[in-house]
């Protein structure tokens, strides 16, 4: 009975190792890093746009024609 369980565990963990090796081969883990970088870039873009929007609102409050602001 115990030998049966050991064999099943061996087959299971071998399958897990094969799956991880395949995911690594096709670059799935690199994709995860790419997504983290993309999220970081999106966060920086959101901050940049918020700053630009704040500047436009301040200029509009002071009577500046914000449609003719040079970007």
Position 70 scores a pLDDT of: 58
Domain count, the chain: 1
What mean pLDDT comes out for the span 51-66? Answer: 69
Position 59 scores a pLDDT of: 67
Q: Answer yes or no: are the C-beta atoms of 29 and 23 closer than 8 Å.
A: yes
pLDDT above 80 for 48: yes
pLDDT band (50, 70, 90) for residue 16: confident
Tokens of 5: 């369980």
Position 64 scores a pLDDT of: 59
Domain holding 55, by residue range, is 2-68
- How far is Cα 27 from Cα 67, in angstroms, rounded to an integer? 45
Tokens of 24: 């690594």
């Amino acid at each position: 009975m115990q030998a049966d369980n050991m064999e099943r565990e061996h087959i299971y963990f071998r399958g897990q190792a094969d799956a991880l090796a395949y995911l690594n081969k096709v670059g799935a883990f690199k994709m995860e890093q790419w997504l983290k970088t993309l999220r970081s870039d999106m966060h920086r873009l959101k901050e940049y746009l918020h700053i630009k929007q704040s500047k436009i609102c301040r200029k509009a409050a002071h009577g500046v024609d914000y449609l003719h602001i040079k970007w």
